[in-house]
Structure 1
């Protein structure tokens, strides 16, 4: 819910830069991924999922890139389905969605706005899945509201910084942050598999 609020706030503040075709291709897949997650009873080992996400992110950041076909409408729909499904089990699909969105080569504001929109929808579907599974959001409402409010402040400050960055600096920082998150996933994945 906090991520939903944070990404929703970022979306509201940056909607003018949204890449609508990319978002509209992502949404149906995310819906399918959420439905599959709500019915899926078998869980893969969390460590394996984290290592898979880390490998995908590192490949898209530092490898030769995804083929053009993977960035088209069908590939984007599949990415929406897979990342939403994975996020229901691991909760760490943000770096994978970010790396996929970045592959489209849009300007930094468009990348951030489109990522926020994709993640907002993804977290909204997860809220429905977890709500249907019996999670009581009302018990956590005060904490959720406080954290979302702080997330909105952070988003406002972050977007001001984003407008001052060059595309080169944004790309460099984006790669460094996603690489660090991926390495953390590798560490978590290995520690869970070896535990």
Structure 2
């Protein structure tokens, strides 16, 4: 039996580690479905401790694509599609055109800029400039898709893009999930185009996607019970922690 399980896993990955990743997928999906953020970053951390560095971002993209598409389907009635469409325009441009920009900037500057942007979007007053929300979402899509190819999880950045829209909690999470579905789909296509083989990882990622869908159902049920003002406070706290941690990483990477 153990030989059969091992044959379905990538070489060098133990069944116990695989089981831990499947369980982690449940809890990270539940976290994002309930609070709108944190699951992708936590999953990235789990993968970083268990899989080869060269495969982390690609495998993370496939798992998160499955997780987000499940969450989008469950919460589809609350998706606000106009921001998704604008974000999609930028994301397609970013994947096709912007990757060279990341290669030209040191990693510490990417972390620094990302952290400062998140903190600014959470705490600073937003200027009333005509068309800013539209152009901001397109530009944000470009930046998010480029960064996602390198650092893997940019959920806090995408959530920060949505904050000025002041969406109700269910609309915020559902719209965020639709954006992330698109972003991770583009990432999977891009990694496939440059030669990454997903075949060895497919059985494990399918199991993680299935457990993540169960987590989405659990987290969605919890979301319905969270008061709107508590949700808004929790989201600000989590985004602030994420932004400060990016600044910490930028300082240490120097």
TM over 0.5: yes
Q: Which of 146, 156, 162 is residue 85 of structure 1 equivalent to?
A: 146
Larger Rg: 2
2:110 aligns to what?
A: 49
Segment of structure 1 superposing worse, 34-43 or 4-13? 34-43
Residues 145-173 of structure 1, C-alpha deviations (whole Å, 9 max, x = no match): 12212221221111111111111011011
Query: Is contact 1:7–1:117 with CA below 8 Å preserved after alignment?
Result: yes
2:32 aligns to what?
A: none
Q: Which of 169, 181, 201 is residue 140 of structure 1 equivalent to?
A: 201
2:156 matches 1:76: no
1:33 aligns to what?
A: 94
Instruction: Give the TM-score of the pair, scaled to structure 2.
Output: 0.71
Query: Is contact 1:50–1:92 with CA below 8 Å preserved after alignment?
Result: no
Return 5+ residue gaps in structure 2 as ranges: 1-61
Distance 1:170 1:70, change over 3 A: farther
Matched pairs, number: 193
Q: CA RMSD in A?
A: 1.8
Return 5+ residue gaps in structure 1 as ranges: none
Distance 1:176 1:70, change over 3 A: farther
Instruction: Give the TM-score of the pair, scaled to structure 1.
Output: 0.91
Q: Which of 8, 11, 14 is residue 75 of structure 2 equivalent to?
A: 14
Shift of 1:174: 0.8
